Amino acid sequence: MINVLVTGGNGQLAHCIKDLESLNTDLKITYTDYQELDITDLTAVKAFFKNNNVDYCINCAAYTAVDQAEKEPEKASQINVIGAKNLAVACEENKATLIHISTDFIFNGEKSSLYNEDDITSPISVYGETKLNGELQIQNVLNEYFILRTSWLYSEHGNNFMKTMIKLSKERDQLRVVSDQIGTPTYATDLASVIINLISTNNNQYGIYHYSNEGVASWYDFAKAIFEEIGSKIELLPIKTSEYPTPAKRPKFSVLDKSKIKSTLQIEIPHWRDSLRKALLKYNE
């Protein structure tokens, strides 16, 4: 039996891992949120690892309120940097493997081709900066780890763009959505499946990996696809980022190159549009 700790246990990615749990009977998964385990408290983290014989830690815990982070840099840093470091220290002491979830926001979005794992990082927001610093802390503490950078995560669980669009489609006749930020929507269940694959195959090809669904979209394209799939008649208008100013800057282009994870894990990655259909089916259930 492999003992797995999932932090951020109330988040959407943790819920998607839970959905797949019954397919993997050799995993004993414990989910904690900050009420059960405060990852910013090193003493508590060390005690938890010692008492629970953790083999793998999947760190889904993160401060992800991108705009709010501009006002609360300390809080974002506590969770995204100190929390990540504490989990790395506990993994090192207990010979556990850390699988840490990171983000496309560590890039500045100025590149016009796919971002690979070796590209220069240069975050343009407090959120991106804290996520990058979390990655660096992990690399300082551990020689062996998995850092999975992903983008535009959504699912039938939690709060996310897909669910917001469905809600707005029932409340409004017209909606304006940004069309000049380009990336790839990622179905959290697809990412959860990759994480479980890493554990169940006992993969030891450690390092940083990029994972998102295949394809390219703007937020406008993503919204349009959602409304098409649900048959909504809402009028959708594309706007520029400059017409919708936010406290935090977003990368203009952050499409991730998935070649490394595809060749390492020998996996095919679904197109975002196909995964969106699956997510909407689950949501409607």
pLDDT tens digits for range 34-66: 999 999 999 999 999 999 999 999 999 999 999
Q: Express each pLDDT in 28-40 by its tens digit.
A: 999 999 999 999 9
Q: Whole-angstrom Cα distance, residue 188 to residue 13?
A: 6
Residues 170-191: pLDDT tens digits? 999 999 999 999 999 999 999 9
Neighbours of 247 (CB within 10 A): 12
Give the mean pLDDT of 238-249: 95
DSSP 82: I
> pLDDT class for 253, splitting at 50, 70, 90?
very high
The answer to whether residue 133 sits within a structural domain is yes
**pLDDT at res. 268:** 96
* 22 pLDDT higher than 90: no
Question: What's 131-154 look like in SS3?
Answer: HHHHHHHHHHHCCCCEEEEECCEE
Residue 83 inside a domain? The answer is yes
63 is catalytic: no
Which segments of 26-99 does DSSP mark as H helices, in order?
42-52, 73-77, 83-94
- Please tell me the predicted confidence (pLDDT) of residue 276: 98
Residues 90-99 pLDDT 10s: 999 999 999 9
| Choice among 63, 115, 127, 154 that is catalytic | 127
- Residue range 218-233: average pLDDT? 97
- Residue 278 is assigned to a structural domain of this protein: no
pLDDT at 25 over 90: no
Q: Region 268-274: what's the mean pLDDT? A: 98
Give me the chain's average pLDDT, please: 97
Is the pTM value of this prediction over 0.85? yes
Eight-class DSSP state of 167: H
> Are 52 and 5 in contact, with CB atoms under 8 Å apart?
yes
The tokens of 173 are what?
Answer: 């006749």
Domain membership of residue 285 (yes or no) is no
Number of domains in the chain: 1
Q: Determine, yes or no, domain membership for 259.
A: yes
pLDDT at 24 over 90: no
> What mean pLDDT comes out for the span 204-208?
97
Supply the pLDDT for residue 23. 87
- Whether 121 is covered by a domain: the verdict is yes
85-144 residue pLDDT tens: 999 999 999 999 999 999 999 999 999 999 999 999 999 999 999 999 999 999 999 999
Burial 36-62 (b: 16+ CB within 10 A, else e): ebbbbebeebeebbeebebbbbbbbbb
- CATH code where residue 52 lies: 3.40.50.720
Mean pLDDT within 244-259: 96
- How far is residue 5 from each of residues 44, 97, 103, measured CA to CA in Å? 14, 10, 21
Per the structure, the complete domain to which residue 191 belongs is given by 2-160+186-214+255-270
The DSSP line for 179-248 is -S-EE--EEHHHHHHHHHHHHHTT----EEEE---BS-EEHHHHHHHHHHHHT---EEEEE-GGGS--SS
Q: Is residue 101 part of a domain?
A: yes
Give the pLDDT score at 124: 97
At residue 264, does pLDDT exceed 90? Answer: yes
**Residue 237 within any structural domain of the chain:** no
